[in-house]
Amino acid sequence: MPRKTAPRAPVQTAKQPTPRQHRQALAEAQARCAAQGAQLTEQRALVLELLLARDGAGKAYDLLADMRALNPGVAPMTVYRALDFLVEQGLVHKVAATSSFVVCKHGPHPHNDPVFLVCGRCGDATEWDNPALGNQVEQALAGLGLHAHGMEINVDCARCQAQDAQRR
């Protein structure tokens, strides 16, 4: 069972996109939504920007806290509906194992069956773009009359492994 971790604070780190990169990501999201006949409203864009500020991953309640820091009266459904929209548009993925959301960093591509590597210790989730693996699993499941709707593979991430090595 994954260890519970404290929510990540939206602190600027070297890995995080710069505000310029945030603007570029938001412009690309706006264009993608328009191309799909959808509208990236100000609230939806704000939720996406707050997710980007959290290094591209976060839980709904953390995003709600971030939004409430900007607008104390914001309702939880505002965040949940925005996240549902972002998932529907293929801009964000939901990671069931951690009940978190991750910004898609692969640009426009089919999002029907994402594969995530989820650290069972710290909860970090990384989308793994491996079509060959997806095809192999899909073929094996088809033989059983089944269809996968994404996969989550439990791993120990490099950071957690490095921490173990330091303790030894």
Q: Count of domains in the chain? A: 2
Same domain (yes/no): 39, 94: yes
Q: Are residues 74 and 27 in the same domain?
A: yes
26 and 93 assigned to the same domain: yes
Query: Which residues span the domain enclosing 146?
Result: 115-167
Domain final residue pick, 78, 103, 128: 103
Q: Is residue 77 part of a domain?
A: yes
Write down the pTM of the prediction: 0.76
Tell whether 97 is covered by a domain: yes
Supply the CATH number for residue 125's domain: 3.30.1490.190
CATH number for the domain that contains residue 36: 1.10.10.10
Q: What is the 3-state secondary structure (H, E, C) of the chain?
A: CCCCCCCCCCCCCCCCCCHHHHHHHHHHHHHHHHHCCCCCCHHHHHHHHHHHHCCCEEEHHHHHHHHHHHCCCCCHHHHHHHHHHHHHCCCEEEEHHHCEEEECCCCCCCCCCCEEEEECCCCCEEECCCHHHHHHHHHHHHCCCCCCCCEEEEECCHHHHHHHHHHC
Per-residue pLDDT of the chain in tens (168 residues, 90 and over written 9): 443 333 444 433 334 556 888 888 899 999 999 999 999 999 999 999 999 999 888 999 999 999 999 999 999 999 999 999 999 999 999 998 889 999 987 766 555 577 889 998 888 888 888 888 888 888 999 999 998 878 889 999 999 999 988 988
Residue 13 lies in a domain: no
